Amino acid sequence: MKKVLEILKKNLLSLICGLVAIVFLVVTFVWPLPGNFADLRARVSASQEQHSSLSSLVSSTYTAPLLNVDETEAKPLDIFPNDATKEAAQKALDALKEQADKLQSATLSLTNVEPLDPEGRRVFPRIASGSSERLVLQQFRNAYLNATAIDPTNFPNSVYARITRGGLAPTLAELSDIEKRQEALIRQQQTIFGPDSRPTNLPAVEEAVAKMRSELPRQIKQRRAEQSRIYFSPGAVLPHPALAQVGGQAGAAASIDLATAFNAQYSLWLQEMALRAIADVNRNATNVYDAPIKHLVRLDIGQTGYNFGPSSTGGFAPGTEAAPAIEPSFNASLPISRDYSTGPFGHPRPNDLYETNTIDIEIIVDARKVPQIISSLTAGRYLFVNQVSLSSVDTGIAFRDGYLYGPDQVVRLNLRVDILIIRSALGPWLPDAVKAYLATRNAPPMQ
């Protein structure tokens, strides 16, 4: 026993440390045993989930991204990319995004719309606070009517003439007026009076007048054809009826609202797009004689114009069909349905990408160039030809009416076309009232 005490005495510190360690182990692992088991189970479960995730990553099949629009099948990725590969992939994706941005910009440029300047910019999308709404809208109306004038006096300054370098054929009234003035000038300059104040060369003067009358119409018509690239028939393009005629009087001073102003501006955009297509076809022509498109007889965007919102002076007559709605959204992921009730090829329904506008165009063209004309009208723009018809032209009647087309054979070409306007291009100019109205309009159900 004494030896045992000796040993304990010598190793007392070690014994105390051992007892402390045993107590610590008991306190740590035995006393709170249920809590430790729960924590252990949670850690094991998390470890299993991490293992499953890693196993899925390792066992999954990976493919390289498609960076070429012509490729349809992705190639398998046999190894994980290293840093250099990831850097190269990021550069390729950045380049692809840059191309997509350029494509989107080019797409919007094809339907670039700008309001009448400066009046249009003061009106859309909203009239600046502090301005007189009635005054600003009336100024817009006046600017619009000046831009769309097709009478002989104001037509050279119209937007139609500026886009196409177009002209009007001389009317019978014009020819008669010029003839009277020329006759008076001939009689004044060529009549010789005798001592008794009577004309001594009346037969010669009458012969000169008769010659002038026979030659003058062709000379004037020829001069008009040489000064223009394309003829416009009276009424070939018409201003929006809500602005052109209020209260039954054309040009009458009357107030309009913002929705009516936007409807008129939208109608003018459509006319401008169609006329720019025609102008591009004739861009290399010097006059009517060598122009592929010689005469615009009719450009019809709808008898009642376009109406995209409730207005006091705009709108559609009872029983007439309203134009398709413009939806303010721009959603490229939604499919576009087609309406096949009007033809076997179908017609795009209103959708979130673009507004479809159907326009009838009647033109007199060089008979040899009909295929090239149709192709050129649609090149580089969202204009699609749906219907085509041809008919003959009586050039004798046309000459009587003031039109001189030149020696080549001409035909009457009737086209029904669709012009698309990208929705997002309209965004900066949509008045708040029109947006609110459009928000209540839903696209037709898919079929």
- Diameter over CA atoms, the chain: 182
Q: What is the mean pLDDT of residues 15-31?
A: 62
Q: What is the mean pLDDT of residues 298-303?
A: 79
| C-alpha 126: how far from chain center | 21
Q: What is the mean pLDDT of residues 310-321?
A: 36
For position 306, what pLDDT does the model report?
54
> Residue 300: is it exposed, middle or buried by C-beta count within 10 angstroms (0-12/13-18/19+)?
middle
7-25 residues labelled b (16+ CB within 10 A) or e (exposed): eeeeeeeeeeeeeeeeeee
Spatial contact of 140 and 116, defined as CB atoms under 8 Å apart: yes
For position 31, what pLDDT does the model report?
52
379 against 196, higher pLDDT:
379
d(CA 447, CA 444) in angstroms, rounded, equals 9
Classify 62 in phi/psi space as left (phi over 0), alpha (psi -120 to 50) or beta: beta
Q: DSSP for 171-233?
A: PHHHHHHHHHHHHHHHHHHH--B-TTS-BS-HHHHHHHHHHHHHHHHHHHHHHHHHH-SEEE-
Q: Hey, how many other C-beta atoms are within 10 angstroms of the C-beta on 329?
A: 14
Q: State yes or no: pLDDT of 324 exceeds 60.
A: no
Spatial contact of 274 and 163, defined as CB atoms under 8 Å apart: no
pLDDT digits (tens, 9 = 90+) for 125-137: 777 666 777 888 8
Question: If you average pLDDT over each of 4-8, 125-129, 409-413, which comes out highest?
Answer: 409-413
Mean pLDDT of the residues in the chain: 76
d(CA 379, CA 400) in angstroms, rounded, equals 35
Q: State yes or no: pLDDT of 241 exceeds 90.
A: no
Q: State yes or no: pLDDT of 420 exceeds 70.
A: yes
278 against 438, higher pLDDT:
278
For position 250, what pLDDT does the model report?
43
Classify 378 in phi/psi space as left (phi over 0), alpha (psi -120 to 50) or beta: alpha
Taking Cα atoms as reference points, which of 108, 150, 112 lies closest to residue 235? 150
For position 249, what pLDDT does the model report?
45
For position 365, what pLDDT does the model report?
96
For position 376, what pLDDT does the model report?
93
For position 37, what pLDDT does the model report?
61
Task: Tell me phi and psi for residue 113, to 5 degrees.
Answer: -120, 130
Task: Tell me phi and psi for residue 382, to 5 degrees.
Answer: -85, 65
Q: What is the mean pLDDT of residues 104-123?
A: 74
Question: If you average pLDDT over each of 167-176, 336-345, 389-398, which comes out highest?
Answer: 389-398
For position 289, what pLDDT does the model report?
94
* Whole-model pTM over 0.85: no
Q: State yes or no: pLDDT of 201 exceeds 60.
A: yes
For position 213, what pLDDT does the model report?
82
CA 214, 219, 222, 224 torsion-angle sign: negative
Q: State yes or no: pLDDT of 308 exceeds 80.
A: no
Q: What are the angstrom distances between the C-alpha of 411 and each of 168, 367, 372?
A: 19, 5, 14
Q: What are the angstrom distances between the C-alpha of 83 and each of 44, 79, 80, 88, 196?
A: 33, 13, 10, 9, 113
d(CA 12, CA 6) in angstroms, rounded, equals 10
Q: State yes or no: pLDDT of 343 exceeds 60.
A: no
Q: DSSP for 119-136?
A: HHHHHSS-PPTTS-HHHH
> Band of the pLDDT at 290, cuts 50, 70, 90?
very high
Q: Hey, how many other C-beta atoms are within 10 angstroms of the C-beta on 353?
A: 19
pLDDT digits (tens, 9 = 90+) for 58-103: 677 777 776 666 677 777 777 667 777 778 878 888 887 888 777 7
Q: What are the angstrom distances between the C-alpha of 341 and each of 39, 316, 405, 410, 420?
A: 69, 23, 39, 34, 20
d(CA 251, CA 148) in angstroms, rounded, equals 12
For position 371, what pLDDT does the model report?
94
Q: Which residue has the tokens 């989930």?
A: 49
Extended beta strands in 49-96, E state: 62-63, 76-77
Percent of the chain surpassing pLDDT 90: 20
For position 332, what pLDDT does the model report?
47
For position 193, what pLDDT does the model report?
82
For position 439, what pLDDT does the model report?
59
> Band of the pLDDT at 336, cuts 50, 70, 90?
low
- The SS3 call for residue 373 is helix
d(CA 27, CA 108) in angstroms, rounded, equals 75
Question: If you average pLDDT over each of 30-44, 325-339, 349-363, 428-442, which comes out highest?
Answer: 349-363
90 against 108, higher pLDDT:
90
